[in-house]
Structure 1
Amino acid sequence: MSQRALSESKMNRGAASPMTTSSYNEILDNKSEDTYRVESSIATLTTAQKRDMREKFLKYANKVLRFYAQWDDRSSMFGQKLEYIINYFLQDDKIEVLEVKQQNSGRDPFPKLVKKQRVPRVFRGVPSVGSKEEDFEDEYISDKDLIVGNTIEIFGRDMFLYDCDSFTREYYLHQYGVEQPANQVEPETHVEFPSMPLPPYNGFGSEHDSLASYFNLIPKPRKYDRTKQAALDSIIFRWKAKFDIEKMSMVNPDDHKRRFVISYFMGDGSLSIYEPPIQNSGFVGGKFLERQRVIRHKAKFGDWMTEQDLLIELPGTVWINNYPFSLLETDKFTLRYIHKGKLDNIVSIDLIHQKMRNKVQGMSREIMNVFRLIDEEQSGAVSLDDLVNVIRKFNFELDEDEIIALMGRWDQQKNGFIFYEDFVRTIFE
């Protein structure tokens, strides 16, 4: 509009002057160029062409090579030899390094040394902005670098690969025809630290009291397992025993006459020995060993005798406080415990027959007449109650288990009756 008005008035416009610039406009122009340059670089880094990992992902999904490694840092001050697990993920060639926690090592548990990522063979710092992963493809650790016996560098730490798992061995054998070497680490020799030997028993109190005075200036009382003691306090095993004369170093001429009752208390693992008095033997009898826990023969303090040391095949020898005892027989309660209630293992039917035969020798006719008097119907059979009455009449001294075993042997039809004629002829004739 201004140009048209000037043309109509025929006025001279003059030459156009150059546009003036200010320092502020120059700063805005330079800032725009820098922003475009940085945005271009970031776009290049984030939108770089990725490798096609689809085929590898489908083939090796969830398949991991596992290596066991050591980092020996003992050359530096306070350094240690630490154990690590190196996991190599085949689907994306990434590596994860886990620290193996060791008990009482003084180190805080730190689960991951390196999180899952691609690890360069030689770490040269953080890559520059705009660089592409494809430019450094040959500089990353691959599965070909992981061989047992080799040392790899992981961010400045030299990791010695000393073993791998079975899947890893099979993978290298089928993929590359390479057999991974065996374990490359020899077990370290155990260092024996010097320790003070335990003092001998001083004679005051029990051996527990003597040991407590060694560990504490003010001895602490012995701790008991109250739950076990309450549950097993009523369980007592007993054996009849005598001295094993052949194994004794010093023998009294009358020691072969002595008999003992050994009792083992399951509640606290203690043991006592009682000697029944024998007339005109010269031995008073009574308590041979006060109830106490007993150390195994020629063992260290703390290695206590248990019921398994006494539950042996009879007759057998057991050492108690340097005395050899020959175990002769045990009571029915202990036999039930050993044989879990199986009556055939507790009593012997032949021994019962012999016991009855010795009791009434030559009285088979009298016994037969008693059975016939009881059998009013003349059926030739009597019941269990009738058998018990006959046993009591002739004072056979059979206990409940022996009577049940006897009835089970002669009750051939399993109806609660026995044929007494066969019974008398077999046992007493």
Structure 2
Amino acid sequence: MPEYADEIGRYTLLKKIKLPKGSVSPHLPGQTDEHTVLNLAADFSSMLTDPLNCGRSQITYYTDKDLRLGESINVGGRKVVLYDCDEFTRTYYKLKYDIDYHPFPRPKTDYELSEDSLISINNKLRQLPPYNGFGTFEDSAVNCNILDPLLNPPVQSMRQFLQESGQGLDCRILRFNARRISDQDDSKEFEFEYVISCYMADNTISVYKSSGQNSGCGSGMIIGKRKLLKPNQSMRTINTYPEYYTYEDLYVGAQVEMDRFKFKIIGCDEYTLKFMENFPHRFPKANIGLILDKLRLRLQDNYKMFVSQYMKQARLDPVPYAEFSSAIHKVLGEDIKEQEVLHLGRRFQKVDPQFEINQEELRSLVQTNLRRKLFFEFSKLEENYHKYDVDKSGMVKKKEFMYVLKGARLPLSRDLVCALEQSFAPHEESIVNYTEFIKFLNYKKYPAPECPPMNTMMYMQGNTRRSDLTRSKLSNIQVDVAEFIKALGMEEQFIRENS
């Protein structure tokens, strides 16, 4: 009954009434009345009440004497088991009936009992014969359990297929860079890079070999798109459903064995990193909160030593990613994976503009885009800013400035909106003159020279976007240690313990 439940899922099954014992059938009109009226004549003046109440049915109701923990009662034809009560009820029964009530374990519902029976029946089924090599293992298993497998094909998760299928530019394919590993690394095959693609819709995996420059070796697919078995399993001998690789087994730093090929994952693309960061509940190695909790637990004893290695002239300067990664690995050792350190570096990356934005070029670019999209509601935009300008000073805070800017839905790309924010409100404490900002946008009253066609994403990428933490750029990344220490939140605890 979710539509009748409150905020925490509780609902009223039966309102406050007398609860009859046993099964109750619908009563005839007047059957439950307290008095029975006898009509002795045709007129209404000759009516008497029946003192014996011969036609009245006797209904017994539940009282406090009938309620016992561990026993069941009939509530409108439903069997309800009492297994616990509150403290007031325990005190009531102790004082009135001298009965000590102790909670019972919650009994299983009929649905849970039916599920358990189905599981026990499935466990008692005969073991499957070894896989014969025809079709997939699931097809062969259906052929063994069902007389006509064509009428009952293997059931696939349609919910997973519909939720994880690609939609537009969102392909839902996670791609990882990998290298082959071996005990005897004497072959040139181990110098090439491989791309492991994981398809979220059906948990299938493919491996593509990319050839190096002037290597003389061709590139191509070495493992086609299919479900891949985990190691130490043989399709010829197993008689239970096998275990396959899924997206949970693939991350930077993991070693996997696929069709007797051993790989070590050394990187992933930007889409995979962003996808993991957008769904941290599904990817624990991208969950910044869990990673910081792991660090706090280890840094309880040596927090001062950890912070002191970054102190330079009584301040915390940004450090290269390689130095930050080695410090994290020194603290946690094998308990942290390279994927987790990678997401920490992305989260606390020091962002510096590569060059100053030319105001005239930006103004020309913004006005050209507004003119092409036929945007002319500048007066309405100014009215929205007036709502936040209580003093009528023409100035608003950055938070209010961005509220109106994003709420106006200007026909500008995300890069241009970020460039406007960086130009007019670069800091959190910035105060913006919205009158000058509207003049900056208004191409009718204050036109700027028209800008030639250009790729705005490529033009603004150097100013507004965070650089990607790919392997080729790791050496240029600077990690903001001050923000990282602030996110740990152990400074106050350290001062309190040592004061």
- Flag the structure with higher helix content: 2
Same fold (TM over 0.5): no
Relative contact order (alpha carbons < 8 A, sep ≥ 6): 1 or 2 greater? 2
Q: Which has the larger radius of gyration?
A: 1
Which structure carries more strand by proportion?
1
Q: TM-score range by the shorter chain?
A: 0.3 to 0.5
